[in-house]
Structure 1
Amino acid sequence: MVVESDGRLDESCRVAAPLPQEAVRVRLDKPRPDDLADLVYLADNKTVAANLATMPYPFTKDDGRALLARADLSRPESATFAIRLKTTGRLIGVARYANVDADGPVHVGYWLGEPFWGQGLATEAVHVLVDHAFTHNGIQELQGSCRVTNPASRRVLVKSGFQYRDQAMIRSLGAGGSVPIERYTLERGVWKSLKGWGQGR
């Protein structure tokens, strides 16, 4: 249930736009200092880290504080969100998008804590993340990627409208080396069509 960009999303931030962003069971809003305990508990997981590019393992309180600090930075076409269960308000993961290079594509990335895998929560979170990216920015295309050994992330991207582009290699800090990934894209026009079809049902 984890997906990551080409590895430089740690510089992303929360864009100034209406919050929270809500789906059926999850809400995306600003990460808070009181999320630190949940963040460290869920992120300190070798399986989670091995499916991401830049998450360290072990994941310490200092790593959590650094992530929370980065979430408060402001940068165009970037946003970092806590993924929360609407029923409890507790953090269950992180979702973000970032324009890594000034003229480059905007990448989406997310992860959920292992207790929340396999329930469709990641798909809800990515739908809301994509809607936020296209609604509150002039972004024309989003890119996402997943490890080739992570079929759950592949399903999340496909269910969110992303289309397969190619394969590549990235360095994964948590995996301890280079890993193969599949890369996907979602254009604004395709997103608008999918949103229109959903409203017509």
Structure 2
Amino acid sequence: MVVERDGLLDESSLPAAPLPQEADRVRLDLPRRDDLADIVFLANNHRIAANLATMPHPFALDDAKALIRKAEMARGDNALFAIRLRSTGRFIGVARYARVEEGMPVHVGYWLGEPFWGQGLATEAVHALVDHAFTHGDMAELTAACRVTNPASRKVLIKSGFQYRDQSLIRSIAAGGTVPIERYNLERKVWKSLRSWGVRRSELA
């Protein structure tokens, strides 16, 4: 999964961006209390947490409640969404963007429950997330990152138009230390030129 970073989700007074955002098979909207069981079941997975920066493992009910509160408080250049299957409305993961430091670019992150890996759903969710960020925000670019040992997330980022920038190190709570990551960015002007996601998939596959 893409490296997720905690942002200033509770410190902006700007209005929240409109919801939901839809793709072919997934929908992004707010996580709810009736998602708690699914959140804990899917998030309490070391294979997911070890690829993220701030996700705890084990992941408990209180962590799921905190995630919902964080989503409800998101404003402005910060947003946290549930990824849902459009067909059933089931919660299957999280997608978010946040300005983690004042003056720094907005950072994109996500995680998807392991039963839903390998189906192209993460790519659809990131496409929807990027569209939402650039449509409702005024940021000039988005950044993202993945562990160097995570080729699936690398592929998602590339298919979403992100371009490789460099390598760095980040501390992962669940991994128990510092891990190497690849950093990517997507400029608004590039997003505009690739606005047709169907064309983008074929060109960047």
Determine if the TM-score, normalized by the shorter chain, exceeds 0.5.
yes
The alignment of Structure 1 onto Structure 2 pairs a total of residues equal to 198
2:6 maps to 8
Partner SS for 1:108 = strand
Do residues 67 (structure 1) and 67 (structure 2) align? yes
> Match of 1:171, as an amino acid?
R
Moved over 4 A (4+): 196-199
For the Cα contact (< 8 Å) 2:20–2:27, is it kept in 1? yes
- List gaps (5 residues or longer) in structure 1: none
Partner Cα distance (2:31, 2:104) in 1: 26
1:165 maps to 165
Partner Cα distance (1:74, 1:42) in 2: 22
Query: What is the Cα deviation at residue 102 of structure 1?
Result: 1.6
| TM-score (normalised: structure 1) | 0.93
Partner SS for 2:194 = helix
For the Cα contact (< 8 Å) 1:143–1:186, is it kept in 2? yes
1:92-148 CA-partner distances (Å, limit 9, x unpaired): 000000011121110000000000000000000000000000000101100000000
Partner Cα distance (1:96, 1:73) in 2: 13
Partner Cα distance (1:190, 1:102) in 2: 23
Partner Cα distance (1:79, 1:173) in 2: 22
Partner Cα distance (1:150, 1:18) in 2: 32
- List gaps (5 residues or longer) in structure 2: none
RMSD across aligned C-alpha pairs, in angstroms?
1.9
> CA 1:191–1:15 in 2, change beyond 3 Å: closer, same or farther?
farther
Partner Cα distance (2:35, 2:15) in 1: 19
Percent pairwise identity = 68
1:178 maps to 178
Query: What is the Cα deviation at residue 4 of structure 1?
Result: 1.7
Q: Any residues of structure 2 matched to 1:41-56 within 5 Å, and which?
A: 41-56=41-56
> Match of 2:9, as an amino acid?
S
2:121 maps to 121
